[in-house]
A and B are shown apart, each in its own frame.
Chain A
Amino acid sequence: MSQEPVAMPAVFVRDLTVAYDEKPVLWDVDLDIPSGTLTAIVGPNGAGKSTLIKSILGLVHAAAGTVRIFGEPHGRDHKVVGYVPQRGSVDWDFPTDALDVVTMGLYGELGWIRRPGRKERNRALECLDQVGMADFARRQISQLSGGQQQRVFLARALAQDARLYFMDEPFAGVDATTEVAIVDILKSLRSQGKTVVVVHHDLETVPTYFDRVALLNVRLMASGPVSDVFTPEHLQKTYGGKIAFLKS
């Protein structure tokens, strides 16, 4: 049974199964993520890491299972959750600038029809400043480097002022400055009591960047504090034994 503290977890997942074209991508995943922690989701390519956060967010239809966010089914209150998609998931040639993208983080709060005004622009500027991008507010997004684009996405998530964040590979292909900026933001979010769940690729940095880790390969192999769970045996099981799962 679960060894988690009694306090309500930020994310509660039971028996989550997701399939694309009848091929299981996630199989029977149980996961608890305590509030106020930094969690890395790691696993090989095709392990279902992105699918896991997308199905928690309600973007992907689950074949079975239960998901609760702070005890509520998803969709009850969208302002609780912030999201940083993979950088490659959008067209950076879209006619817009950095400030405009960050302002999208405030659309949920604005509600239907209302347009962002000076107040929203100022808040978006503050968020750009927090990621060190204030000087690029009016830069067209295709003219930003990959790391800068990633920081714009991060600033948009900050503008959402959520309690729980999901980030899909924010460290993928970024420069050293951006990597440091993202780590600083993660730690500052944790010190504000926020919960952050990050799909992560670089195993080496897991122990320094994160408190907790979830090892995923279609099934959840292990999850818990990095010191307990991030062991060679668990990693071997996650990355080495892929063939065994295709039988099920």
Chain B
Amino acid sequence: MSLVRDLFTDYTLRNVALGSVVLGIVSGVLGCFAVLRRQGLMGDALAHAALPGVCLAYMITGSKSSLTLIIGAGIAGWIGMLAILAIGRRTKIDQGSALGIVLTVFFGLGVVLLTVIQKGNDPNQAGLDKFLFGQAAALTAEHVTTMSTIGGIGLLFVALLFKEFKVLSFDPEFAGTIGLPVASLGKLLTGLLVLAIVIGLNTVGVILMSAMLIAPASAARQWTHSLGRMVLYSAVIGSASGLTGAIWSVLVPGIPTGPAIVICLGIAVAVSLILGSAQGLAWQSRRRKARRLEDPA
């Protein structure tokens, strides 16, 4: 029970717990819309695109404050999104290839900048490389405040525009005919996805961040046929996996947080795919059997 007590009293563990729960909720909720709009890989590209933003923000300001780096990451992610959309629209290159190009080029640029910073004899830079795989143990109270504020803004948008986002995700053409600005709403949703990504950079890191968006939503979909409940379950699965993985990485020195969380997410997805009450495999085969009994012909 001392672990539970430490979650509330120990400074590091408390920040890790709060940070990973906030991250799990925000990415779980926004990940649902990304998955339903078949933009799961967009999250991956945006997360990788954030790395050069983090490095440039540090090089320009010399500050490692979480807000500075997050703004840098957000701007770079946003530019990455515009680049993907522009390549997809203006050239003959399809969206998937555009994602691949932007993801790798931005990430390559980020790694080069990171190397430049690390070679620069700047003692203050230590820790920037943690943005690759995340390090929950380094979360401070300031990080948690920033993450909660940004995440809260994202959740507020989803709460207010839930029905607009729903019809946009299900039937964008119809949404257009009832007068919704489909293109702007789509950009807003992707922008909110960038918010979810930047608050996960410290904890999960850019390389595996997309799992935090795709996995909880995919697992939640196995348990329900209602969008509202899917969003709720996804938030629960995201925060539970985030919390478990983050604490695991803090208690066992040397385990990077991102990979630890991704393993927890993987278990949640596997269990849901098999046992999920709405679409799970076990349930599907039982239904098929029931149907055979009902209708022996």
Contact = CB atoms under 8 A, between A and B. Distances in A.
A71 interface: no
Contact of A101 (B162, B170, B221, B229): B170
Nearest to A89: B173
B225 A97 contact: yes
Interface in A51-86: 54, 57-59, 75, 78, 81-83, 85
A91 B176 CA distance: 17
A110 B166 CA distance: 14
A96 interface: yes
A85 B171 contact: yes
How many residues of B sit at the interface, in one of the four size bands?
A: 20 to 34
A160 B177 CA distance: 11
A90 B171 CA distance: 6
Contact of B163 (A75, A82, A116): A116
Nearest to B182: A59
A104 B170 contact: yes
Given A107-B163, A115-B162, A95 B226 contact: yes
Main secondary structure of the interface of B (DSSP, over half): helix
A96 B170 contact: yes
Contacts of A83: 173-174, 177
Contacts of A101: 170
Contact of B225 (A96, A112, A115): A96
A107 B226 contact: no
Interface in B58-74: none
Contacts, number: 72
A243 interface: no
Interface residues of A, number: 30
Nearest to A140: B225
A94 interface: yes
A94 B178 contact: no
Interface in B141-167: 160-164, 166-167
Nearest to A110: B163
A58 B163 CA distance: 22
B230 interface: yes
A113 interface: yes
A5 interface: no
B167 A95 contact: no
B227 interface: yes
A149 to B, nearest CB: 12
B277 interface: no
A108 interface: yes
Nearest to B159: A113
Given A95-B221, A115-B163, A107 B173 contact: no
Given A90-B171, A95-B230, A104-B171, A59 B179 contact: no
9 contacts: A58-B177, A85-B173, A85-B174, A89-B173, A95-B225, A96-B170, A107-B180, A112-B161, A112-B164
Given A94-B170, A97-B225, 14 more contacts: A54-B173, A58-B176, A89-B173, A91-B170, A94-B227, A97-B226, A100-B226, A100-B227, A104-B166, A104-B167, A108-B179, A112-B164, A113-B161, A160-B178
